[in-house]
Amino acid sequence: MSDRREEFLAGDRPDDVALFLAESFVDDDRLAEFGDQVDGGVLIVVDGERGRNAFQAATGTEAMQFAGSAMQVEGIIDGDLTGGTCPDEPSEGDSSEAADDDHEVQFVFAFAEEQNEEVGGIYAEGDVIHAYAQCRCGTAYSDRWAVQE
């Protein structure tokens, strides 16, 4: 794991954004030059402005517009930002015909917010990671968590 990625996940890079792009979503080997090759794709940590521009170039969607729509639905995004659990994914006991492949994270956009005790709640606990994911099924969802030291 690169220092930049590790620092971001620790909440130490509040001016940066992280982007995970699944291999199944974008097949461009050049992306690995800009980030970490991870299982299923590439994770890139760059300064906010460049990251938002890169997100738009890769997904065709403006980053904060995507975040605004994704925050309407809560889901689970992995702490390493490379996967998640779509809220529309059938539970294990569900006999629906939806294939697991239909519920694979295509991309994640994330940013860190510094601890803010005045706001309270999760923000008083520590730095907070805000993450927004797009599932292959079309569902956009969000998650956030306080960084544990």
**Residue pLDDT, tens place only, 13-49:** 999 999 999 988 876 666 667 788 888 899 999 998 8
Which residues contact residue 142 at a Cβ distance below 8 angstroms, ignoring those fewer than 6 apart? 67, 70, 71, 72, 73, 74, 75, 77, 130, 131, 132, 133
Calculate the average pLDDT of the chain. 88
Say what the pLDDT of residue 36 is. Answer: 85
pLDDT in tens, 39-81: 889 999 999 888 898 889 888 899 999 999 999 999 999 999 9
CA distances, 80 to each of 19, 62, 85, 116 (Å): 11, 23, 13, 23
* Nearest of 31, 33, 29 to residue 20 by alpha carbon: 31
Tokens 């792009």 appear where? 21
The reported pTM is: 0.88
